[in-house]
Structure 1
Amino acid sequence: MNRIVLVRRGEDAEVHEPAGTVRVPAADLPAFVAEREAGPDPVRWVWDDTTRWYPALLASGVRIARCTDLRLCHAILRRSPSVDQGLLAAADTAGWDALQPVTAVDPGLFPLEDPADRLDPPAEHERQQAALAESAERGRLALLLAAESSGALVAAEMTHTGLPWRADVHDRLLAELLGPRPPAGQRPAVLERLAGELRTALGAPGLNPDSPADLLRALRGAGLPVPDTRSWTLEQIDHPAMPPLLEYRKLSRLLTANGWAWLDAWVREGRFRSWFVPGGVVTGRWASNGGGALSMPVQVRPAAIADEGWRFVVADVAQLEPRVLAGMSRDTAMAAAARGTDLYQGIVAAGVVATRAEAKVGMLGALYGATRGESGRMMPRLTQRYPHAIGLVEEAARAGERGEVVRTLLGRGSPVPGAAWSDGPADLGEAPDDEDGGSRQDRDRQRRSWGRFTRNFVVQGTAAEWALCWLADLRNRLWELGEGELHERPHLVFFLHDEVVVHTPGHLASEVGEAVRQAAASAGRLLFGEFPVDFPLDVDVVRSWADAG
């Protein structure tokens, strides 16, 4: 496979090919890339950061098959415990450490005064290849780097194509919930009515319900000894003010996060476009920048409507993290409980606990460290039945408490813990018997907290790796299904941890559904080989995203 490194040089792109180096004017680069992509030899484009190159290529109608995103790969390698960090050391290493993605593209291909221009992509690529070659986990890390880079392509393509969004439907939904759109600076009619009911119930005619301090004074003035205005606190109170207050809170959040201002800012030409950020969370999960794409409330999802003649294929995998835990721990009993069925119901069928609710509480406790109360009561039974799975997360927790770095299946490393470990190991749970007892207790709490983080890091991070492999394989399958440019073929428009939404011509919907399932099976084989853990999907073909099960 040909690796072609792209570097910005003023108004030109410096192209490093196996046969030599040439300069290509920025205006001619899309045609150059398209020509190489159409050639007989597969190409992997190597560049500093996908967000700095790919959006402009997409805008010119150029889609690429594969890339190496040096920024994302650098972040993985720098944190991986399986990499000799000395092989990555260079004068510009700190620059690579600090490099951030961009979430806006200038009309030209190259932005001005970009910190990426002070870096040396060819040299960084050589360092990364050397570090990878010397790693004892070369195969797994190579898969992770390829999947992460492919995820960057998916993210850019989802921003480019956008999620179909009907502004008229969104406006109607808001009007039904809040009343007609009010003049700037005024509350919608429904919120104003609820505010009036709340003022009456609390005997506070001047109350501003949007002010926490004002609200707290009004509640206490009405004889309610509340410590704060958190929703959980308010839900415990039996008082006539609570129904309008809680309803006001819910609708106010909707107005703030996805109201008319959101609609004006984020929906253009029938599309909602956010910027998705691969690796935006330390576990490898994605984040988003702009529009709250990864926290879209159900109240406005009916506005996501496929184009005429098109459909959404919506797919999600049930109990992804427990299934991943079964695979990475090679726990055959847990894998058997998950095979072809609801995993929690499989635990019940195995006689471990009596109800599905108990199975869920116990498993979530194992994954997130909630080992007291109801979940703690389930832990001995889960440990006895699934010793390899529970043993894996328990060891990850103990490693975190010792201040050690843990890693995912493919080699993403956890962050280095903070200063709580600087004074040496503590006897966890031992009562302090000296003047420094309070600080020792604080350190012990911090260590246990970090242990809960590392317990989940290994599973959540590996689940993110499975999802990356799913996305990468699905992206390629979707491209093969259609003809024409990206937006004319089936294409991904949304991704959230364990859920994807594909926008597809209606006549290809069944084929897309099969591609989604095949890609999930392929991701399982890539990570876990022939170990018998499956990843069954719920797949819906719908016109509106809200209609998915």
Structure 2
Amino acid sequence: MEILVASEAGTLHALALDDDLAPTRTQRLDRSEFAAFAASVEPEQPRWVWADTAALYPELLRDDVRVQRCLDLRLCHVILRHAAPGSFEGDDLWDSPVLAEADPTPSLLDDLEDMARLGDVGPEELLAERIRQRDALGAVADPGRVRFLLAAESAGALIAAEIAHDGLPWDLEAHDRILTDVLGPRPRPGMRPKRLEELAGIIQERLSAPRLNPDSPVDLLRTLRRAGLDVKSTSKWELQELDHPVVEPLLEYKRLARLLSANGWTWMDSWVRPGTQDRRGRFFPDYVPGGVVTGRWATSGGGALQLPKQIRAAVRADPGWKLVVADVAQIEPRVLAAMSRDEALAAASRGTDLYQGLVDAGIVDTRAHAKVAMLGALYGATTGEAGHLMPRLLRAYPRATGLVEDAARTGERGGVVRTWLGRTSPPPSATWREVQGLATQPDAGESAERRARQQARDWGRFTRNFVVQGTAAEWALVWMAEIRRRLTAMTNGADRPHLVYFLHDEVIVHSPADLVDDVATAIRDASAEAGRLLFTGFGVEFPLDVAIVEHYGEAE
């Protein structure tokens, strides 16, 4: 049974739908009645259908009502719009462009644009969108897989909302100690911490620039050049290549300034809510499921996907609780082996270290070379050490390397590629096609041809990694959904273990201390089940590193 929930002018409309999506009963609800209504219906295990999980589900969570499954029509619309082109006409409130039209060579980490949460969508329009999506699903090449993807994407939306509601346990005093140890005492507003002030003085002295502001890239670049250093930017990668006494303090300054800016006292005041005597504070990540083109998550604030190791000791369980931290090793090469059905690469995956498996199979001589070669295959490296090692991978794993090579060639021709479950890459922009077209003109010059070739290679690198990174994101969604299902079955009430953090291939569960062994088992079982559900038992292993700790820093 599906229950479609629409919001219109402060009133909710709940429509029970039959298998043909015809309403069998309709109920108007005041928003204050929503939680009680949902709690009364949830034992029937319906699938809730709404415009946007992030707009409605928090209302239920505030009243401690959790649902098992849903369809998030906004997220599903983005997937189906690309998987079934032509099924949705025109731009409307459901459309969220995946890539900026002006950027012909996007990064795989580009955020989706126009991701405003959908609030009021009337019942007629919501039902019409549900029917459009059903019909679009029938037009895709493999509707079973795409249906699985829509369910997994929607489960991810539930998980993101629950993490945002429950929060990541955070020790404010520990965070302050960490900052004080590395930066010095908290400074007055507008002042630098003691350590940064000391480093700024050293930098000014070594560059003979007493008025230099190291926080200004323009000022710093001008001063470096005035000192005779041939630099094009102030990036740490370029600075590391310099032979000058200013390099060491400048790199240290940039590292500490980044910590202060991203996770310093101001961040702590803004993002961490103080705790109580028996409960830590909480950091409430604002995740955006499907926030990048491959389906990976993004964040709309707080930097949950970039918690540096320096501050992880501040992520600390409540008294009587533990953190169960788990991450999967080398997820993308394992996913590539499963997608391509490459038996040889699957054999190398059987163990905790796939890279060592390549060494043991005699493909390369060291683990470091194995990592360089595999990353080169995933990202299309043709020069340097990765380019030198690539022929070995091509001979050893022709099915796996052939899959990413085919994806790259498709991209270079301007085609689209698909992940394992059917997430479709966006087509190249009109600007991209214009450049390619100009290069084919009889009077096209060498410069136009060179630009077109470079542009085609760039898009080919994008599609090459899209299929693997996107499928890895799908595996992670299914893994989390399976973890959530298993945790829900363990216990009810306030002492339930629950997911509190996600980072691409890593999760943290906050658990009562007496349940941590069961939680660790559930996480491992969920990993195996995710592999089975996606890849139907093909012999690729997804081993986990699981740590039961008091604070996140102990899991490193």
Give 1:191-206 correspondences, 5 Å limit: 191-206=196-211
Measured after TM superposition, the shift of residue 115 of structure 1 is 6.3
* Correspondence for 1:60: 63
Aligned-partner Cα distance in 1 for 2:516–2:481 = 19
Q: SS at the partner of 1:299?
A: helix
Measured after TM superposition, the shift of residue 287 of structure 1 is 0.3
Check the 8 A contact 1:51/1:102 in 2, yes or no: no
RMSD: 2.0
Measured after TM superposition, the shift of residue 219 of structure 1 is 2.1
Aligned-partner Cα distance in 1 for 2:438–2:409 = 12
TM-score (norm 2): 0.91
Q: 1:477 to 1:11 in 2, by over 3 A?
A: same
Check the 8 A contact 2:272/2:284 in 1, yes or no: yes
Check the 8 A contact 2:213/2:220 in 1, yes or no: yes
Aligned-partner Cα distance in 1 for 2:329–2:170 = 27
* Correspondence for 2:88: 88
The residue type paired with residue 459 of structure 2 is: W
The Cα offsets for residues 423-478 of structure 1, whole Å up to 9 and x where unpaired, read as: 667999xxx99552212211110110000000000000001001110011111101
* Correspondence for 1:420: 432
Is 2:312 aligned against 1:301?
yes
* Correspondence for 2:16: 17
* Correspondence for 2:339: 328
Q: 1:119 to 1:312 in 2, by over 3 A?
A: farther
Q: 1:20 to 1:117 in 2, by over 3 A?
A: closer
Residue 72 (structure 1) aligned to one of 75, 80, 83: 75
* Correspondence for 1:108: none
Aligned-partner Cα distance in 1 for 2:76–2:453 = 34
Measured after TM superposition, the shift of residue 530 of structure 1 is 1.8
Measured after TM superposition, the shift of residue 235 of structure 1 is 1.2
Aligned-partner Cα distance in 2 for 1:435–1:277 = 44
The Cα offsets for residues 356-404 of structure 1, whole Å up to 9 and x where unpaired, read as: 1111111100000112211111111111111100000000000000000
* Correspondence for 1:281: 292
* Correspondence for 2:278: none
450-459 or 344-353: which moved more? 344-353
Aligned-partner Cα distance in 2 for 1:196–1:215 = 13
Check the 8 A contact 2:436/2:452 in 1, yes or no: no
Check the 8 A contact 2:435/2:448 in 1, yes or no: no
* Correspondence for 1:543: 550
Aligned-partner Cα distance in 2 for 1:422–1:315 = 46
Instruction: Report the count of equivalent residues.
Output: 527
Q: 1:422 to 1:118 in 2, by over 3 A?
A: farther
Measured after TM superposition, the shift of residue 86 of structure 1 is 3.9
Q: 1:433 to 1:373 in 2, by over 3 A?
A: farther
Give 1:65-464 correspondences, 5 Å limit: 65-80=68-83, 83=84, 85-89=85-89, 94-98=92-96, 101=115, 114=119, 116=121, 120-269=125-274, 270-418=281-429, 419-422=431-434, 436-464=445-473
Measured after TM superposition, the shift of residue 228 of structure 1 is 2.6
- Structure 2's unaligned 5+ residue stretches are 18-23, 97-112, 275-280
Q: 1:423 to 1:303 in 2, by over 3 A?
A: closer
Aligned-partner Cα distance in 1 for 2:383–2:435 = 28
Measured after TM superposition, the shift of residue 207 of structure 1 is 1.3
Aligned-partner Cα distance in 1 for 2:217–2:114 = 35
Aligned-partner Cα distance in 2 for 1:216–1:121 = 54
Check the 8 A contact 1:96/1:119 in 2, yes or no: no
The residue type paired with residue 475 of structure 1 is: R
Check the 8 A contact 1:421/1:443 in 2, yes or no: no
What is the percentage of aligned positions where both structures have the same residue?
55
The Cα offsets for residues 254-303 of structure 1, whole Å up to 9 and x where unpaired, read as: 10111110000000030001210110010000001111110011111110
Q: 1:135 to 1:245 in 2, by over 3 A?
A: closer
* Correspondence for 2:478: 469
TM-score (norm 1): 0.93
252-261 or 341-350: which moved more? 341-350
* Correspondence for 1:522: 529
Aligned-partner Cα distance in 2 for 1:115–1:199 = 56
